[in-house]
A and B are shown apart, each in its own frame.
Chain A
């Protein structure tokens, strides 16, 4: 059973536009990670957030961890074709089991 729900499931936008994807859970997690996966490859870590309310920036990507540590968002400014990929949130629950979300498949149209 997936404990992390991501939305939207699919997103296709024009180059230069902004976008936000979301990761939600009914459970509290101690830390949350965002990964990006390209076709034929394994996921690669983008960021880890550990404190409620934390905001981290990675160039044009902004990650926010909800105050209650049950949700997170990823905002991309001025999207570029290189941002295309499957974005996955992941969290450790309870006994350190690393669980991934349902994923958001992002396509940036040149």
Chain B
């Protein structure tokens, strides 16, 4: 079974530029998560989808971050414009519906804003 796919693996941009990340979850998984992980810290949930609806986006900086999950399958996360403090690893995860289910993670996209 294929895992969660993310691209790109690495991205370097200048501040005020825009960037987009892509995630393809495990087939059949209804729930998709985007996390931001600052070096040495635990992942911080940015947005959680259930199929193509948003379950939680309370920690998504909506003035610059946006995410969509069209057709309830793959998802994109965009930052526009980027700030230096956005430098982090962006992790995508998916799980089948329901609590206590395992979240499967992709390898992440390491973003550096200079």
Contacts and interface: CB of A to CB of B under 8 A. Distances in A.
A49 to B, nearest CB: 9
B56 A97 contact: yes
A50 B10 CA distance: 37
B105 interface: yes
Interface of B: 4, 31, 33, 35, 40-45, 48, 50, 55-56, 91, 93, 95, 98-100, 102-108
Given A41-B107, A95-B55, A102 B99 contact: no
Interface residues of A, number: 27
A25 interface: no
A5 to B, nearest CB: 10
A50 B98 CA distance: 13
A100 B35 contact: yes
Contact of A97 (B4, B43, B48): B48
A95 B42 contact: no
A72 B20 CA distance: 37
Contacts of B98: 96
Contacts of A30: 99-100
Given A41-B107, A42-B108, A100 B43 contact: yes
Contacts of B103: 33, 43, 45, 90, 98
A50 B33 CA distance: 21
